[in-house]
Amino acid sequence: MKLPDPQAFANAWMSQFSDPNQWQSWFNMVPEVQSHPVTAILRDAGAAIKPDVIEQLKNDYIAQFSTLWQDFIGGKSPEVTDRRFSSAAWQSNPVTAFNAASYLLNAKFLTAMAESIEAAPQQQQRIRFAVQQVVDAMSPANFLATNPEAQQKLVETKGESLTKGLANMLADMNKGHISLSDESAFEVGKNLANTPGQVVYENDLFQLIQYTPTTETVHERPLLLVPPCINKFYILDLQPENSVVRYAVEQGNTVFLVSWRNPDQSLAKTTWDDYVDDGVINAIHLVQEITGQDKLNTLGFCVGGTLLSTSLAVMAARGENPASSVTLLTTFLDFSDTGVLSVFVDEAQVQLREQTLKSGGLMPGRDLATTFSSLRPNDLVWNYVQSNYLKGNEPPPFDLLYWNSDSTNLPGPMFCWYLRNTYLENNLKHPGKLTVAGEKVDLSAIDAPAFIYASREDHIVPWTSAYESNDILNPKKPKNNRFILGASGHIAGVINPASKNKRSYWTNDAAPKKGAKRLDANAWFDGATEHKGSWWPEWAAFLAEHGGKDVPAPKMHGSKKYLPIEAAPGRYVKAKAD
């Protein structure tokens, strides 16, 4: 994607409002603007903005820019509060402060223009998303010629920062991604994913890990964790102080975990049915056989939660009810509102994927990573362009961001099925509409108490969408569902260790009056109570409630039939995406 010159883009924007009759001239004045993909969207949508709204935008813009210009001419530096321009290099120089302020003004009104377009909700969201990508890209902080911090460091280091920046950029080009962390500081199995355990089973799709108990007694019912196959499982087992796996073990659970294989061409024809039958259902049966327990606590995170729920529904159709409880972390079951991710999914885009991948092939992990990075470009792209390339800095070690860059591929048929039947058509929530592994899927048939967790600032699974799982699971026993809302986002909200006592979470255990409908998400939040610290202890208490009696901890991993294969975290999680 070609990025527009920020000053030319800003000048074209200002020029547009110098003549109220020249709407189209904004697009035609500057080649960078005219050739940019977002321009076609805005040009086509131009007629969908009411003339009086355009006039008001124009008048507001002229008034605010005139004030900014007069202050600048009078020697008054504008006040800039955006954190991208908070350093003294931006604030102390009137020219750079004005440059930052004018950019923010242009960005504000370009965004307002996008917000004013009258269109269908999904189309409007796409316009807002496309405009935001351009707004973020055209920041003067992203270019050496307009970034005073980078220029200052260039002078202070006598050009060394530029040399290092170019070296960093070339290294990242060879790796195929922007370095978000010092990748040399981490190694999976040494200082990441190092909770003790053994791989006790493997097939072509996954390895099953059983972790070593740390307590003399454990709950008799084991706990099976199903992480997302879109990412590596060790997000749940980063380092000892922020490991969900280690915490669950320390709370007296016999913990098993599905470690998905990073697909290569040998798995290019693997389907969603395979992930359900050969993956999750197989893992449940293995845990039952190894422990001798018919019932187990289960947990699914993100796509892992969708897979787990689908698998339990398939098992219910087969007359099996293995779950003592179900925990869903930031999981979609109802895909009515998929937030900003909906900009990537429509019939045309899904058909394109199906034409190339439905019969076999791989969805590259780098493409998935790029998609997720585009949801937060300032935090996951431009921040590192400025620091690593313009200033020549080395990124500091950060375990979560190291994991974020450790991509996984997805089998094409599985990915296409998932896109069409969840994000596009929202079929999963409708009883009997889908057939998976030869069975009609009815999520309401899962007979197990549910612990449903969502993160308030989640941009991947909006918390209001996760909340809708309350209507899908246990519809005849709503009191069997427990909903917890945590602070922060999709990952940081989940990885919130109890020992750190950070952030907060919300609960609302008030049951609706007899005959009344369940509270909608906003009403639930209005009546919720905020608690300081981590939600993990609430989850641990839920597991204990459904974990059965306490029994002596197992003295061996696996069983006589399923002997240990290798130490955790195993080989599969270490495989890199091609």
Active site residues: 302
Helix spans in 181-278 (H): 244-250, 272-274
Which tokens in the block code for residue 457?
A: 């600032």
Q: Which residues of 221-253 are buried (b: 16+ CB within 10 A; e: fewer)?
A: bbbbbbbbbbbbbbbbbbbeebbbbbbbbbbbb
Which tokens in the block code for residue 4?
A: 């527009």
Distance (Å, whole) CA 319 – CA 578: 41
Residues 6 or more apart whose Cβ sits within 8 Å of residue 526:
none
Distance (Å, whole) CA 575 – CA 408: 9
User: What is the rounded radius of gyration, in angstroms, for the C-alpha atoms of the chain?
Assistant: 26
Distance (Å, whole) CA 425 – CA 335: 8
Give the orientation angle of helix 160-175 with respect to helix 148-156, to 10 degrees: 120
Count of other CB atoms within 10 angstroms of residue 305: 28
Count of other CB atoms within 10 angstroms of residue 75: 7
Count of other CB atoms within 10 angstroms of residue 385: 20
